[in-house]
Amino acid sequence: MSLDPYQIRKDFPILSRILPNGKPLVYLDNGASSQKPKSVIDATNDYYANDNANIHRGVYYLSQHATELFERTRIKTSHFFQAQCAKAIIFTRGTTDAINLVAQTWGRTNISEGDEIVLSVQEHHSNLVPWQMLALEKKAFLKFIPIKEDTTYDLSNLNEIITKRTKLVAISQMSNVTGTVHDLTKITDRVRQVGAKILVDGAQAACHMPIHLVDMDVDFYAFSGHKMLGPTGVGVLFGKEEILEAMPPWLGGGDMIESVELEASTYAALPAKLEAGTPNIAGVIGFSHALDYLQKVGMKNIKEHERMLTEYAFERLNRIGGLQIYGTDDLDKRGGVISFTMDGIHPHDVGSILDEEGVAIRVGHHCCQPLMKQLSIPGTCRASFYLYNTKEDIDALVHSIDKVKSIFGRVARK
């Protein structure tokens, strides 16, 4: 059963907004953050209005009820992503926080001088900088899986890149720049052969397709709730239970302890050991309702809807002269993200003119400066789609690009 984006749009108050310049909002920046349905907004507000209390430590009703709502979200997240168990779900502030947690706990414990950490050349800075910092501290080496011209991973020399000295492979499932979706099977198989661990940055993939964590057989998987209809400030780190059990805490403080003496402390069991301090309770509760919404629509339906939009966008954008699209042409290997440049026109100029038409896209290097350097460009214009976007949104994008070309004195069509 396909989804109806026109019906879905009614659940998102912001999508009916008229901007100050009188233009209706056309939101195509879902790769940065998704919009929120009313059910998520209401749930977040309802917590503050009716259930506001700290969790895990109160014996009174409000605290116990808030704790129940919070922990129910953990169980729901585990089921939604078919994880090993609820204890394997660690709530964080986002994907960046989750990756840094692994680097600072598992990484500092298990990475030694001379060890190798394998990344790819198109990683988001969140999955690059933490490993640079760790490698510098531990005197370890960084190695990189290259990409082909179509931005898929080049695995031709995988056995030379992932070796017996490799301790960790940290890699993205879907590029936030090109939308390329990577089959990680060969990489995971090689990781198992050498006895290493694998962390997957799922920030882009988790919101657009069904994810079965047990079937993927990854050691860590990180993603953000705000990209999948949830509030900001909520992320998830999945880790195999036996690995998380062996990891020391990263942050010390409340909730992560079992017993504290003046000279030493013992730590709480999972997941509390890795969740120090008061969390984003309202955000996690709101995320629970985001999962409900996505479950009702169906992740498979969302994936198919985005494929239809991407195919339509390719068809329309490819008719525009002087426009280059980056990434693979194979729609089976793409998500709902399209990055492009326009000959002789800076991406920031494109974004500014599109904004005058009410069309919101992302421009710049997208926190992927090494990839931009390899592509020999300063940045791209990125349009990214989600379940509430329509063909009319893409038509508005194309119309606005025509205006860009008109302003810069170029012919609008081939």
What amino acid positions are annotated as catalytic residues? 367
d(CA 130, CA 244): 19
Q: How many CB atoms lie within 10 A of CB 390?
A: 17
Block residue for tokens 């994810």:
211
d(CA 234, CA 64): 21
Helix intervals (H) in 247-368: 281-297, 299-317, 347-356
Q: Burial of 132 by CB count in 10 Å (0-12 exposed, 13-18 middle, 19+ buried)?
A: middle
* Beta strands in 109-218, from DSSP E residues, in sequence order: 116-120, 141-145, 166-172, 197-201
Closest CA to 69 of 219, 276, 280, 212: 280
d(CA 160, CA 171): 17
- The amino acid sitting at 250 is W
Query: Please, how many CA atoms are within 13 Å of residue 288, restricted to the half-sphere of its CB?
Result: 19
Three-state DSSP class for 48? helix
Closest CA to 130 of 161, 153, 98: 98
d(CA 355, CA 169): 39
What is the widest separation between alpha-carbon atoms in the chain?
Answer: 75
Asked if 234 contacts 228 with a C-beta cutoff of 8 angstroms, the reply is no
Asked if 104 contacts 252 with a C-beta cutoff of 8 angstroms, the reply is no
